[in-house]
């Protein structure tokens, strides 16, 4: 054994001992996954070995009228169940928390109180046992305000230690969007882009779901035989988007592509009995699509 090798070996042993004694002060420890209790604003469930929690942010309520809703008002009026008892369209907003090994992953960040929503995400996250500084990865489906609105508050990052990940096409579009001008410089140092199909954490893969925005992305979470697809705003309403996937949605950037994405998702989801997650579907948004005669219906998972 040479002197150099002995010194190197001693150094390795020393660093191993030091690593055992203390954690570097600037590296956040991966939090242990505590049991999460179901509340009005937190819905814990499993994806194989992984813990997931639906986190309520609030609700967007739309009048069924031209300019207020993205759909044709007459068509919606004729669709049973499309309107709530108050005659309006209710879209829930519920980002998804997933613990993937040492990664504490938040998929979308809610509206941050915009669009008439209740800004509940921080309270829901706390109820799920996670502080903002513990989130390691934020996966953005797309850069609309009800998905990126929770990234920044008072000009500062809400999740200071998290990488903010979105598709390269979506980041390009966001940087060109005047409405995002105040947010872009704050998040830019944390943004990491990916191409569609990329594996973004050990158990989560980015899936291009084209049409709603230039780089709209879903996330497929896989653990063992179990899987869940977070489909973002490929579908907004558990009635209108599911039973009338061909209906034009004025919020879609490319309507033809968005319609094709909806139809493909419904067909594949129903055929494979794929468990899916709708960020705007009725709380908590977990369920499956089922084929019924000429169309599809939403079948939510039973909740306790």
Which lies closer to Zn ion via its Cβ, residue 50 or residue 111?
A: 111
Which lies closer to Zn ion via its Cβ, residue 117 or residue 223?
A: 117
Which lies closer to Zn ion via its Cβ, residue 115 or residue 274?
A: 115
The count of chain residues that interact with Zn ion, using the rule CB under 5 A, is 2
Least Cβ distance, residue 162 to Zn ion (angstroms): 20
Least Cβ distance, residue 232 to Zn ion (angstroms): 7
Using an 8 Å Cβ cutoff, are 78 and 87 in contact? Answer: no
Least Cβ distance, residue 238 to Zn ion (angstroms): 14
Positions 228 through 247 that interact with Zn ion (CB under 5 A): 233
Structure-block tokens of residue 222 = 């896989």
Q: What's the CA gap between 219 and 201, in Å, rounded? A: 10
Answer for which of 146, 169, 170, 252 binds Zn ion (CB under 5 A) is 146
Using an 8 Å Cβ cutoff, are 133 and 161 in contact? Answer: yes
Which of 210, 142, 218 is closest to 180 using CA atoms? 142
Q: Which residues of 126-151 are buried (b: 16+ CB within 10 A; e: fewer)?
A: ebbbbebebbbbbbbbbbbbbbbbbb
Q: Coil, strand or helix: which one is 245?
A: coil
Q: Contact region for Zn ion (CB under 5 A) — 50-58, 140-148, 202-210, 284-292?
A: 140-148
Look at the block and give the residue holding tokens 């040492």. Answer: 102
Q: What's the CA gap between 20 and 6, in Å, rounded? A: 21
Least Cβ distance, residue 253 to Zn ion (angstroms): 13
Which lies closer to Zn ion via its Cβ, residue 233 or residue 252?
A: 233
Which lies closer to Zn ion via its Cβ, residue 100 or residue 233?
A: 233
- How do beta strands 276-277 and 226-230 pair? parallel
Using an 8 Å Cβ cutoff, are 89 and 95 in contact? Answer: no
- The DSSP code sequence of 196-214 is TT-EEETTEEEEE-TTSST
Q: What's the CA gap between 97 and 52, in Å, rounded? A: 5
Least Cβ distance, residue 161 to Zn ion (angstroms): 25
57 touches Zn ion by CB under 5 A: no
108 touches Zn ion by CB under 5 A: no
59 touches Zn ion by CB under 5 A: no
Which lies closer to Zn ion via its Cβ, residue 50 or residue 60?
A: 60
Which lies closer to Zn ion via its Cβ, residue 99 or residue 277?
A: 277
Least Cβ distance, residue 144 to Zn ion (angstroms): 5
Least Cβ distance, residue 212 to Zn ion (angstroms): 8
Binding stretches for Zn ion (CB under 5 A): 146, 233
């Amino acid at each position: 054994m040479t002197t150099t090798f002995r010194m190197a070996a001693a150094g390795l042993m020393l660093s191993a001992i030091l690593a055992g004694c203390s954690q570097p002060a600037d590296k956040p420890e991966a939090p242990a996954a505590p049991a999460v209790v179901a509340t009005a604003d937190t819905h814990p469930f499993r994806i194989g070995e992984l813990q997931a929690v639906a986190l309520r942010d609030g609700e967007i309520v739309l009048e069924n009228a031209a300019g207020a809703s993205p759909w044709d008002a007459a068509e919606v009026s004729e669709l049973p169940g499309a309107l709530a008892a108050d005659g309006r369209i209710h879209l829930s907003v519920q980002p998804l928390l997933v613990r993937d090994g040492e990664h504490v992953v938040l998929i979308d960040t809610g509206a941050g109180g915009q669009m008439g929503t209740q800004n509940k995400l921080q309270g829901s996250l706390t109820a799920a046992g996670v502080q903002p500084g513990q989130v390691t990865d934020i996966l953005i489906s797309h850069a609309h305000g009800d998905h990126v609105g929770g990234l920044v508050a008072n000009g500062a990052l809400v999740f200071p230690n998290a990488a903010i990940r979105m598709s390269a096409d979506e980041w390009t579009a966001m940087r060109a969007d005047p409405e995002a001008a105040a947010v872009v410089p704050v998040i830019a140092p944390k943004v990491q882009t990916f191409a569609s199909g990329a594996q973004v954490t050990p158990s989560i893969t980015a899936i291009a779901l084209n049409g709603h925005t230039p780089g709209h992305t879903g996330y497929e979470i896989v653990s063992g035989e179990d899987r869940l697809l977070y489909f973002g705003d490929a579908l907004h309403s558990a009635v209108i988007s599911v039973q009338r996937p061909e209906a034009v949605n004025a919020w879609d950037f490319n309507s033809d592509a968005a319609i094709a994405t909806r139809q493909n998702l419904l067909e594949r989801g129903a055929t494979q009995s794929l468990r899916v997650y709708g960020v705007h579907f009725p709380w908590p948004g977990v369920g499956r699509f089922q084929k019924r005669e000429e169309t599809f219906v939403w079948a939510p998972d039973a909740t306790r």
